[in-house]
């Protein structure tokens, strides 16, 4: 409860987050600034100040924005030194990834474009549980099943068979 009270005091919005801003200026890096406050500041700076004054660029506005961005960059200069924890480290390093084209094709399969819905040769069946996905069109006549293509861990997480084999072969004890 003491931690909650300290956070509540730190992020109190009175005085435009005065306590948070003073604490952020005095804290040592690395630190993680609270992005909603920064985004709010940038929004007010952008919307509340004209881009030009008398047909000239408003450099005061640019300087205000520069200061906020510089403060964020200053917090990013020192890396966090987290210890490596297995098997979490290995799992995160070896997560499967898909190419942009593969992701695009999955996106089209799961949420077809309007023009694809009008095509009578296009038949997309999606099970909302995430375990079944079939797709056929005039260019591909094969039915694809998510559970055939990927190993299913749960109803929402699918892992590529190569990654599934790697994970099964690892001894995480």
Specify the DSSP class assigned to residue 83. P
Q: 34: domain range?
A: 17-75
- Note whether 96 and 134 are same-domain residues: yes
Q: Which of 32-36, 111-115, 166-170 has the lowest mean pLDDT?
A: 166-170
Could you tell me if 56 and 121 lie in one domain?
no
Q: Please, is 153 exposed, middle or buried when counting C-beta atoms within 10 Å of its C-beta (0-12, 13-18, 19+)?
A: exposed
Domain annotation covers residue 80? no
Buried b (16+ CB within 10 A) or exposed e, 99-110: eeeeeeeeeebe
Q: How many domains does one find in the chain?
A: 2
| 96-112: pLDDT as tens digits | 888 999 999 999 999 98
Domain assignment of residue 98, yes or no: yes
Q: Each residue of 57-88: pLDDT tens digit?
A: 999 999 999 999 999 998 888 888 889 999 99
pLDDT, the chain, mean: 77
Whether residue 5 is contained in a domain is answered as: no
| Structure confidence at residue 68 (pLDDT) | 94
């Amino acid at each position: 409860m003491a931690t909650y009270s300290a956070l509540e005091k730190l992020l109190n919005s009175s005085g435009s987050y005065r306590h948070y801003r003073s604490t952020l200026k005095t804290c040592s890096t690395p630190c993680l600034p609270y992005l909603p406050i920064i985004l709010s500041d940038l929004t007010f700076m952008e919307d509340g100040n004209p881009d030009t004054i008398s047909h000239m660029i408003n450099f005061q506005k640019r300087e205000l924005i520069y200061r906020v961005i510089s403060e964020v960059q200053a917090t990013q200069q020192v890396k966090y030194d987290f210890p490596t924890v297995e098997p979490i480290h290995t799992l995160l390093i070896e997560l499967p990834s898909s190419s942009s084209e593969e992701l695009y094709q999955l996106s089209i399969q799961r949420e077809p474009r309007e023009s694809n819905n009008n095509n009578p040769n296009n038949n997309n069946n999606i099970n909302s549980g995430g375990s079944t996905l079939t797709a056929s069109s005039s260019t591909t006549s094969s039915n694809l099943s998510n559970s055939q293509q990927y190993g299913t861990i749960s109803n929402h997480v699918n892992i590529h068979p190569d990654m599934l084999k790697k994970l099964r072969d690892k001894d995480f004890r």
